[in-house]
Every structure is written in structure tokens, then in C-alpha cells.
A and B are shown apart, each in its own frame.
Chain A
Amino acid sequence: MASTTTKTQTDTLVQVTNLKTYFYTEDGVVPALDGVDFHLNKGETLAIVGESGSGKSVTSLSLMRLIPSPPGKITAGDIVFNGESLLSKSEKEMRALRGNKISMIFQEPMTSLNPVFRVGDQIEESIMLHQQMDRKQARAEVIRLFQLVGISEPERRVRTYPHELSGGMRQRVMIAMALACNPQLLIADEPTTALDVTIQNQILQLMKDLKEKMNTSIVLVTHDLGVVAEMADRVVVMYAGQIVEQNDVFSIFENPKHPYTEGLLRSMPGNQPRTGNLYAIEGVVPNPLHFPNGCRFAPRCEYAKALCHSSMPETINYSDEEAVRCWKYTEAWEELA
């Protein structure tokens, strides 16, 4: 079941190394991404989970090179997509990729579509831009995509405005738009958070089907572990701008290493006895302007020791797939014990 196939170089679609994205605000520097390493294999779904503000969206926007600048800037590291470094590409070259080889779905289907244009036109625009089709061909393509994402009466629906569609429909439109040019990489930033569970279920099933059909690789950003369990092959757990743990989905759920991952899993109401208090990770996420010197999770960590508060743990890479950033798994820890 686990994706343990031996990995060759060509299997890797995206390789992110030591990525640092900082925001230079009036109040100070926000290290939204502070040395992030992960990779994504072809045909794989990678879930990024983490607390609000941990840098999930910044990661996805960095992959698109859509960090608002100013104040944001990618200050270090590299993103290699299909063997090419995205960071050394010109803006024009990036534009050729966006919406074409790499596309993105956003959290808010309500506000992510331009309210004053018909939904069909908004997709056509993308198709005509990247695939040298004329308007008529593009329209046919849009209708095909609408059928693909399960929108009934596509001929009529292409002429509607976003506000005339329900949330679920709009998210389908967003997906159709993202799939328009057969992207190799689909980034979905909380695609279902704003939706009802019933609709979320429909959308998740749809994404799964499409992935099978089109063999797209997906980066799925979410904070819902249920969605992760449903969709992901591998999971990256982020906390305060850093990756604290990554592993295949089964290991993450069954054998979480990092105390934060563990806490997250234990906090899920469905995962605990229905009596007594819920398990809770106490405390709040640190202010990104003043991250603690040591492990950023230390102030909330049950296991934290003096060491954790004083210095930052290195990432321990067990394999290509598995990594954790915690003192608990170091020799130093054992010495303390």
C-alpha cells in the first residue's frame, strides 16, 4: 500500500531545497519560510498541513513565484521543477508556466473568481493564452472540462457569472480552470475548507478521479487531517515557517514522530474518547516577528527541555521520504535522559 517504489531521478517533479521566503514589513522581517526542503514525485499527492500562519500558503505561492513583492522576497534556496530552476527563470518564462504546467486552486471559491466576467470566459482566457487555440476551440475545450469536473448543463453554465453558482460549483469551475492546460503540477491551497462536508466530499472524490485520469501531481494544502487521510500519499507538517516532519501518510498517522504532529492527531475530536476534556495543544503559535531561539514549538511542547528552548534542532533525514526536526531523536536527547 505504501508508496515504497524505488525512486529514480526522473520521478521527481519538484525539488525544493532550503527555501527561504521573507516578508520585509514595516514592523520587521517575517521569516514566513525559513529553510524548507521537500520534494514531490510525479503522480503523487503531497499534503502540507500545519497551523494557521505556519507558511503553507507562502509555500504554494513560492512554487508559483507569486509572492507579493514588496514586501515578500525569496531570499535563499531553490525550486527545481522538471529539472529546471524556477528561481532563475525570467518573469516572462514563469508566466508561460503558470496556468499551463503549474496551476493552482485557492481556498475561497467565492472570491477567487472575478465577479464581473462569465466563468467560461475566465477559463477560455487561460486556454487561449497557453494553447494557441481560437475562441471557438477554447469554448469547446471549456465545455469538455466542465463535463469532466461534473458540472451539468455545461453549455449554459459557461455563460453564468460566478455569483450565480453555488460554492461547490464555483470550486468545480476553479478546478476546471486549473486543469485547463493539463498541468503537471496542481497546487490546491485549502480547496475545500470553505465548503460544506457534503460538498467537500464531492470535490475530494472529483480530485481523486481526475488525478487518476490525468496523472497530475498534487500539492494539497489543508489543516484538516481528515482530508489528508483521504487524499495524501505523503505529508509535510509545517510549524512556524519550518517543516517539522515529513513522511508517508500511514507513518504520519500511525507513528507520528514530532510532538506537534502527535498533538495535532490527538486534538482531533474524532480520535479521542467522547468523555472528559479534549486533548489540546496549549498555548499559541509564536509571533513570526519574534520566533523563539530554540525549537519554535518548544513553548507548547509537552516534552520540551532546556535544550529545546535554547537551540534549534536540525532536520534529521531518515530517508528521502522521512524527516523530522526534533531534539527527541538526537543523541543529545538521549544523553539528557
Chain B
Amino acid sequence: MNTNAQLTKPQSHSSPNEAEILVSVRDVKKHFPIRGGLFDRVQGYVKAVDGVSFDIRKGETFGLVGESGCGKSTIGRAILRLHEATSGTVEFNGQDLYQLSDSKLRTMRREMQLIFQDPFSSLNPRLSVGETIERVLKIHHMGDRSAREKRVQELLELVGMSPYHIRRYPHEFSGGQRQRIGIARALALNPKFIVLDEPVSALDVSIQSQVVNLLEDLQKQFGLTYLFVSHGLSIVRHISNRVGVMYLGKLVELGEADELFERPKHPYTRALIASNPIPNPRLRGLPKMVLQGDVPSPISPPSGCRFHTRCPLAEARCKQEEPAFIDQGNGHFAACHFPLN
């Protein structure tokens, strides 16, 4: 097992400079207003993301896990400024995205892309595969018609599809193939950074690996940086260099992938890992830690440590005092009053 404090995995592709930070997220909050009442005034907020900070280094894959509704997608979109964050800053390559004008931002969009979970709704059903990818090039005035067509072919080949697929429409493809098309579209502009919002969750197990492999190959080839959002723990562990764990709009733990999975500091992380069924029938009898209850509402999150309502180790302090997100050693951060060892 990899126990040293190396920041990147030994097998890591290209050689990411440890210090070089591509995306820096600082205390980002995203509160969605809830309107109502007599005058349709704001009555409260869904605190989807409630003060999250982390850095993504050049060339690395940063994994983000957590239960449904904990704010993973929201933070992903806030980073790309597809949602305007309520507060906080996002720096991309040293530039504050939230200071950019609309036109600057549109140019900047070449650099950062998004890949979606749902391969069905993420492609415009009325556009053929070729048109879908070509549009992206056209918006950014990349080459003339024939040059663009050539590039589309290149891209399709790159993601492992035949050029004759160009004229086909999304509905004629399987989920895995569509996901490849989505990847090709994202790659069209030679981005540096891609947010992958559960890119394989909707795919069959046998196809998942194909897509994950493709993503890894592309990363190697182009020196891409990924933010990989998923609730599939095994996949995240496989693909990520570092992993952040979110709970109710907050980051509760962050660390090297193996380190985090082997030695979770936060009880929530541990519960999450324990819940993951092990594909070995011989181990089924083993006692499991079952996390009771559901995630509380993000409109009025619990006081103190947000996890205390479900935490098997919670004590009085957890209810009152919000734990700080601190380095527990070797860049392994956790927000817990009683971190595990």
C-alpha cells in the first residue's frame, strides 16, 4: 500500500508540478433562494454549497464524492461559472473567473469544459454527431469548414469512434458511445481542465471501464486536469489522485486517494466506504456499519458538525461546535472533532 506522503501516485502520467495549481476554490458558497409568501419574497435558501475551499493541481484528477444532494454538481458548475456563486472566488490559472466580462468568459470557456452524467440528455437530439462537435469549433471560429470537418473526424477517432458515425444522430448510439461523443465535444477546444459530473454512473459496468480508460488515456496524452465527481467509490479511488468528500454542502475530508480510502479520518467517510458492497460473497457475513437515516435538509442544516445527526461517534460538542477543516497530517484534511485513526 502506498503510505508515503507523495502527492501524486507513482504511476501518474505526465509529471504534474506539485506546486502548480490550476484551479483554486476559496470559500465558495452557492445558496439557491426559495421564494414564496405574499410578495414572492425570498423565504430561505438551499445551501447547496456552503463554504468550500480546495485546490486542483495541474495534471491531477481531483475526485469528489458524497451522497446525492450534497452539492457536488453545484460546486462543479460554480467552478465553471455556469452557476454564479453566491460568494467566494474561483481562480483559474491565476485569473479570478468571477471578475471576467461575459465576452472574456466565453473565450475562457475553451480552457474548461464539462462532461455530464446523463448521456441521453446531454446531446441535442436534433443535431448529428458531426454537427454537435462542429458547433463548438464554429463558435470559437476554429478553422474553415473543411478544417473543422477534419478536426471532427480526428476527435471521433480519438475517442474510439468511427468517422462514419459523423452523420448519425444521438439516439442511434448506446450510452457508452454517447458519453464518448460528449467527451469528444469537450475535447474539441483543447481544454486544460474538465469537470466530469458522474461521467460513468449511468453506464454498464462493462462500459464504465472503457470510458474510464479513455479518460485516463486522454489525460495522459493532453496533460488534462480533471475534477471527477462521482458516488461510485471504487471508480473514484481508481482514477483520482486526491479525493474530497462532501457532506451537506461542505467538504468534510480531503486527501490522497489511497490514504483517504485506507485510513479515513472522518466517520462519514468511513461509513461511506463501509456501505460500498464488496464484490465477494465470502465477506457478506461480516458486520457492517450501517449509516442510519437520511441526509438532513440543506435548507436548515444541523448545527455544529453537520454530520452529528447520523454520526455513531457524535458527542455533545459535535452538536454545538462546528469542527474546523484542518490538516490531520500529510495534506490529509478532515473536519471532525474526533478524527479516526
Contact = CB atoms under 8 A, between A and B. Distances in A.
Interface string A258-277: 00000111011111001111
B205 A264 contact: yes
Contacts of A25: none
Nearest to B212: A278
Interface string B157-189: 000000000000000001111000000000000
Given A51-B206, A198-B272, A169 B294 contact: yes
Contacts of B4: none
A310 interface: no
A232 interface: yes
For the residues of B in contact with A, the DSSP-based class is helix
Contacts of B216: 277
Given A223-B205, A267-B208, A277-B213, A229 B277 contact: yes
B194 to A, nearest CB: 19
B209 A269 contact: yes
B118 interface: no
A282 B175 CA distance: 14
Nearest to B200: A269
B288 A263 contact: no
Nearest to A192: B277
Given A226-B276, A278-B238, A284-B174, A198 B206 contact: no
Nearest to B203: A52
Contacts of B209: 267, 269, 278-281
Interface in B1-50: 9-11
Given A198-B67, A250-B282, A277-B216, A230 B277 contact: yes
B271 A198 contact: yes
B329 interface: no
A231 B283 CA distance: 11
A41 B88 CA distance: 59
Contacts of B217: 277
Nearest to A199: B294
Contacts of A250: 281-282
Interface residues of A, number: 47
Interface stretch (A14-22, A118-126, A129-137, A201-209): A201-209
Contact of B279 (A52, A205, A271): A271
A201 B291 contact: yes
B95 interface: no
A284 B208 contact: no
Given A166-B294, A276-B11, A270 B279 contact: yes
B321 to A, nearest CB: 24
Find the residue from B205, B237, B283, B290 having the highest chain A CB count within 10 A.
B205
Interface residues of B, number: 47
A168 interface: yes
Contact of A196 (B205, B231, B237, B279): B231
Given A201-B290, A205-B290, A264-B206, A227 B272 contact: no
A274 B233 CA distance: 13
B281 A52 contact: no
Given A166-B294, A249-B281, A284 B207 contact: yes
Given A197-B272, A200-B275, A205-B288, A284 B213 contact: no
A138 B224 CA distance: 60
Contact of B238 (A202, A263, A269, A284): A269
Contacts of A224: 205, 277
Contacts of A94: none
A253 interface: yes
A133 to B, nearest CB: 31
Find the residue from A52, A231, A275 having the highest chain B CB count within 10 A.
A52
A229 B288 contact: no
A178 B232 CA distance: 28
A230 B284 CA distance: 5
A269 B275 contact: no
Find the residue from B204, B206, B208, B258 having the highest chain A CB count within 10 A.
B206
A190 B271 CA distance: 23
B234 A253 contact: no
A294 interface: no
A232 B271 contact: no
Contact of B234 (A201, A270, A280): A270
Given A52-B204, A198-B291, A205-B290, A275 B280 contact: no
Contact of B292 (A51, A202, A231): A202
B99 interface: no
A125 to B, nearest CB: 26
A167 interface: yes
B288 A201 contact: yes
A210 interface: no
B301 to A, nearest CB: 15
Contacts of A232: 281
Nearest to A49: B205
B278 interface: yes
A52 B205 CA distance: 9
A226 B205 contact: no
Contacts of A148: none
Interface in A227-262: 227-232, 249-250, 253
B291 A202 contact: yes
12 contacts: A197-B272, A197-B275, A198-B67, A198-B271, A198-B291, A201-B291, A225-B205, A226-B276, A250-B281, A265-B279, A267-B208, A267-B209
A-B CB proximity, top 5 nearest = A226-B277, A280-B209, A269-B234, A278-B209, A201-B275
Interface of B: 9-11, 67-68, 174-177, 204-210, 212-213, 216-217, 231-235, 237-238, 258, 271-272, 274-284, 288, 290-292, 294-295
Interface of A: 51-52, 166-169, 196-202, 204-205, 223-232, 249-250, 253, 263-265, 267-271, 274-282, 284-285
